[in-house]
Amino acid sequence: MSLSALVLNCTLKPSPAVSSSELIGTQILDELGKQDVTGEILRVVDHNVRFGVSADEGDGDGWPDIRARMLAADVLVLATPIWMGQPSSVCKMVLERLDAELSESDDEGRLLTYNKVAAIGVVGNEDGAHHVSAELCQALTDVGFTLAPNATTYWVGEAMGSIDYNDLDPSPEKTVSATQTLAVNVAHLARLLSNSGYPPSE
């Protein structure tokens, strides 16, 4: 069964700047490809996404196009850097826009995000990957996504260090292994939900 994924790169840097979040997002997409999941990666800051909590904030808002791609995909991946121990402001804006999904449902009362699987990629030069992952896991399940076991992969460098994830060649073995596990579990769960989704809401 053919499945699709959308990776949202939540870096603060517009294209074509080098981005570690872009790298880990691309690596996740590559590993998903080995599980017959095709997809694309979008850099959110390149799309004029407006602040707000509705599905469309009007006036050239870039979110409706991203949202349409998200709803067409089976898997959503958030790739974010760590800043001051937190997900990036861009990532938090994405979560705020996803809040609108709580007001949208299908003909049987289910959120449109039900039967979709989410995954997370985190990079940074300081500790905080577990905290960032916890925030994103909670938010994504709140708005209807399902998470597989080991749905997060991450890399953090030395505290106050100057080495970024994209400076490493090859990527660290532990991160590569975590990304492979993420892809296998996410693809498996997405395939199960595609074949047998959640029951209608009462």
Which pLDDT score is estimated for 134? Answer: 97
b/e per residue, 161-183, with b = 16+ CB within 10 A?
A: eeebbeeeeeeeeebeebbbbbb
- Both tokens of 155, joined, read 């890399």
Q: What angle do CA 60, 143, 197 make, to 5 degrees?
A: 115
The verdict on residue 78 lying in a domain is yes
Q: Identify the residue whose tokens are 């790739």.
A: 79
Q: How do residues 120-159 score in pLDDT, each as one tens digit?
A: 999 998 889 999 999 999 999 999 999 999 999 999 998 8
To the nearest 10°, report the CA torsion of 54, 58, 59, 65. 90
Q: How do residues 70-104 score in pLDDT, each as one tens digit?
A: 999 999 999 999 999 999 999 999 999 999 999 99
The verdict on residue 179 lying in a domain is yes
Q: Where are the beta strands (DSSP E) in 16-145?
A: 37-43, 75-83, 86-87, 117-124
Domain that includes residue 181, residue range = 3-195
Total domain count, the chain: 1
137, with CB counted inside 10 A (0-12, 13-18, 19+), is middle
The verdict on residue 201 lying in a domain is no
Mean pLDDT, range 8-35, rounded to an integer: 98
The verdict on residue 160 lying in a domain is yes
3, with CB counted inside 10 A (0-12, 13-18, 19+), is buried
The domain spanning residue 60 has which CATH number? 3.40.50.360
CA 21 from chain center: how many Å?
A: 11
Which pLDDT score is estimated for 152? Answer: 98
132, with CB counted inside 10 A (0-12, 13-18, 19+), is buried
The verdict on residue 202 lying in a domain is no
pTM for this entry:
0.96
